[in-house]
Structure 1
Amino acid sequence: MTRLLVLLCALVLLTSCAAPDPGPDPRPGERWRPAQGTAWQWQLDGRVDLGVDVPVYDIDGFENDAATVRRLHRAGRKVICYINAGAWESFRPDHRAFPAAVLGRSNGWPGERWLDIRRIDVLRPHMAERFDLCRAKGFDAVEPDLMDGYLNDTGFPLTARHQLTYNRMLAELAHERGMSVGLKNDLPQVPQLVDEFDFAVNEECFQYGECAALKPFIDAGKAVLHVEYAVPPAEFCPRTRALGFSSMAKRLDLGVWRRPC
């Protein structure tokens, strides 16, 4: 055997033995956006059921690892990263990073308190770290939750202008990382934000007679991912299908169960 052949064999052996972890799935230059009317699964509670026959999953960014995202990708799914952007959560690993001055009243969920979104200087670095976590795990998009604090009793004098500034900052963080981003609820500001968000995520617009407020997303060719909790599908599906929404019934715990339109 020649010396060159020996060196080539040794190189092949070293490469195969020391192969690095493949890391997050590679993505094309243009960020992915969900298509209008696409079926989806939204599961934030319990171990993710990977067998739901839908092209889009929306799952918790902290509770799920990169391997779960890769498995979903290998099965042909796109994956949205759920994070809470409007409230502090005592059970998250980064909870000590938030100073007491930005923590407001309880939002009604155990261990959660509204954030003072006026403090962009404090919150932007923490939200950037959360978006970095989503990107590092290979997620395709982000669903920041609680983007309408100004409509709630947060303990802070929040205004619509504060919310617009904060929500636009979140969209910028996602786009800088090559991910698309959904506008969660905040229906009064859809006209101002539709151009900066890639899709919408909505809870119970049918129950509260608000679905027409999401029409700007449909008119812009963008998806509306929609759920109802209390209304039977037979009541809301004809209306939301006609609007072009991606609708389903879910239970409030957002476990595996779903009943799509």
Structure 2
Amino acid sequence: MRDQVATRVTGRPVALPVTVLMLLVVLAGCTSAPESAPDGRPAAGRWQPEPGTDWQWQLSGRLDTTVDAPVYDIDGFEHDAAQVAGLHRKGRKVICYLSTGAWEEFRPDADDFPAAVLGKSNGWAGERWLDIRRTDVLQPLMEARIAMCAKKGFDAVEPDNMDGYRNRTGFPLTAADQLRYNRLIAGVAHRHGLSVGLKNDLPQIPQLVGDFDFAVNEQCAQYEECAQLSPFVKAGKAVFHVEYELPLARFCDGSRRLGLSSLLKKYELGVWRRQCPAAGN
């Protein structure tokens, strides 16, 4: 979500018992995944999308598996293991979209979030910012969500609402709070064998590029911020980028120069997409 921009869908997975949630946390602490190298380059053993990799981002409507793109980013609650496996049979890698920084009343685990961690609305009906300082509460809940993605066979996670410190959340969140929480989420994903993308949060890219395997960005061209994503590209990590309001002619040349994987999408993030044409076309 870019500040107040996002798409909302509903899901009905089975909620995990509290005992299972805590067991997941204990087991996660007993294993570790290789971290990125000091220069931010990807660690071995996880899927690593390279700069310029084409992608499809669909968070609403019936999933269309015929789009000719090697990477799909889809809602983790809404899609089951069979759909992920179907995409894999077509040679696709699949990213699991989750909200990790905001509460959504329509998710099946919504009642597991205590009122004390729910802040102000993030601008979408039924959604509220989370107090990311309360990692004692949020880590087991996010562990269960990310474990769900791994069990369904996803290759990666796209955690959304990861820049609450830049918004009016109802909590006195600091940049340090956000760094701690974002690294926590990245670590959980890696322990479950999943790659993880940094969503927006441009100011903290220099500190976080080594913790994340790719980036997902909305509207960096419209706000003249795309150059801030260069550390990911320099580290050999894809930047999956969308614009909603600019025509292709306004951002594709710049995207090619920077090595971004850019699309024009509509705000509802349905099937519709437009790719940047190849250079010279």
TM normalised by structure 2 equals 0.82
Q: How far apart are 1:47 and its partner, in Å?
A: 1.3
Secondary structure of the equivalent of 1:201? strand
Alignment-derived partner of residue 7 in structure 1: none
The C-alpha deviation readout for 1:141-168, integer Å capped at 9, x for no partner, is 0000010000000000000000000000
Alignment-derived partner of residue 119 in structure 1: 134
Alignment-derived partner of residue 230 in structure 1: 245
Q: Residue type matched to 1:88 in 2? A: W
| 2:122 corresponds to 1:110 | no
Alignment partners' CA distance in 1, 2:226 and 2:157: 22
Alignment partners' CA distance in 2, 1:43 and 1:33: 20
Alignment-derived partner of residue 217 in structure 2: 202
Secondary structure of the equivalent of 1:58? strand
| 2:104 corresponds to 1:89 | yes
From 80, 83, 89, the equivalent of 1:74 is 89
Alignment partners' CA distance in 2, 1:243 and 1:225: 12
Q: Which runs of 5+ in 2 are unaligned?
A: 1-43, 277-281
Alignment-derived partner of residue 159 in structure 1: 174
Q: How many residues align?
A: 233
Alignment partners' CA distance in 2, 1:38 and 1:220: 14
Higher relative contact order (CA 8 A, sep 6+): 2
Larger radius of gyration: 1
TM normalised by structure 1 equals 0.88
Alignment-derived partner of residue 19 in structure 1: none
Segments ≥4 residues shifted beyond 6 Å: none
The C-alpha deviation readout for 1:53-101, integer Å capped at 9, x for no partner, is 0000000000000000000000000000000001000000000000000
Secondary structure of the equivalent of 2:129? strand
Alignment partners' CA distance in 2, 1:132 and 1:178: 10
| 2:268 corresponds to 1:240 | no
Once the two structures are superposed, the pairs formed by residues 1-261 of structure 1 within 5 Å of their partners are 30-261=45-276
The C-alpha deviation readout for 1:185-237, integer Å capped at 9, x for no partner, is 00000000000100000000000011111011111111100000001111100
Alignment-derived partner of residue 9 in structure 1: none
Alignment partners' CA distance in 2, 1:68 and 1:35: 24
Alignment partners' CA distance in 1, 2:202 and 2:245: 19
Q: Residue type matched to 1:235 in 2? A: R
Alignment partners' CA distance in 2, 1:243 and 1:75: 29
**CA-atom RMSD, angstroms?**
0.7
